[in-house]
Amino acid sequence: MNIILMGCPGAGKGTQSARLQSAYNLQHISTGDLLRAEMASGSALGKQVAEVINGGNLVSDELMISMLETRVKASDKGIIFDGFPRTVAQAQALEIMLQKYNRSITSVIMIDLPEEEVVKRLSSRRLCKKCGRPAATITQPVCACGGELYVRADDAPESVKHRLEVYRKDTLPVKNYYQHSGKYVEINGHQTPDQVFEDICSVLEKVK
Ligand code: AMP
């Protein structure tokens, strides 16, 4: 299975990917995580990437596609693509890349969430430095795994506003790209993580 998990910022792509990874023994490739790892390495590229991400913009298609290809090439499992493709050019490149490695997309799952809910979620989101998961409550001092919690720089209100504009302009056309492929399914993201997971699993059970 090769799955694309789409959805606006804060829709729960990371949370659901982590669960799907263990439930279906898939490899989770999050392009956001790849970029944050580059930033954390302190490299010159990481510094350039930080500027782009913290401003709420997208990094170039070329960089993203080449970072992704390295992972796809090395993987011997089905893949969950989390946060990719974010532009139509990336969707087209992904199709060519998957053909090259004898793969194809099984399902494109869009986690749908109203914008008001996105703003609410991201303005209170704190993530764990150790396991990467969001804190379950606003008040807990540390993550359930014991890791330190932090706020992503691009979750600042101005960045979120801009990320949503970028999402509407560049990423929503990707939805149109897949909508009539016969592989596209929308899931209601305005439910508990357990309910969203259940809905995704019932889609995947039909195609696996
Ligand atoms: P995410 O963790 O998926 O929310 O991604 C965080 C940020 O990384 C995004 O707001 C973009 O700046 C950048 N990013 C992640 N994936 C992509 C992509 N496929 N294309 C371009 N930029 C990306």
Q: What is the pLDDT of residue 95?
A: 97
**Which ligand 1 atom sits nearest the alpha carbon of residue 90?**
19
- Record the pTM: 0.92
Give the mean pLDDT of 53-68.
95
- pLDDT tens figures, 90-141: 999 999 999 999 999 999 999 999 988 998 888 888 999 998 889 988 889 9
Q: What is the pLDDT of residue 102?
A: 96
Distance of CA 10 to the CA centre of its chain: 9
Contact 11, 113 (CB under 8 A): yes
Give residues with Cβ within 8 angstroms of 191, minimum separation 6: 199
Q: What is the pLDDT of residue 208?
A: 79
Atom 19, ligand 1: which residue's CA is nearest? Answer: 84
Give the mean pLDDT of 171-177.
96
| Ligand 1, CB within 6 Å, residue ranges | 9, 31-32, 35, 52-53, 57-59, 64, 83-84, 86, 90, 154, 163
What is the whole-number distance in angstroms between the Cα of residue 147 and the centre of ligand 1? Answer: 23
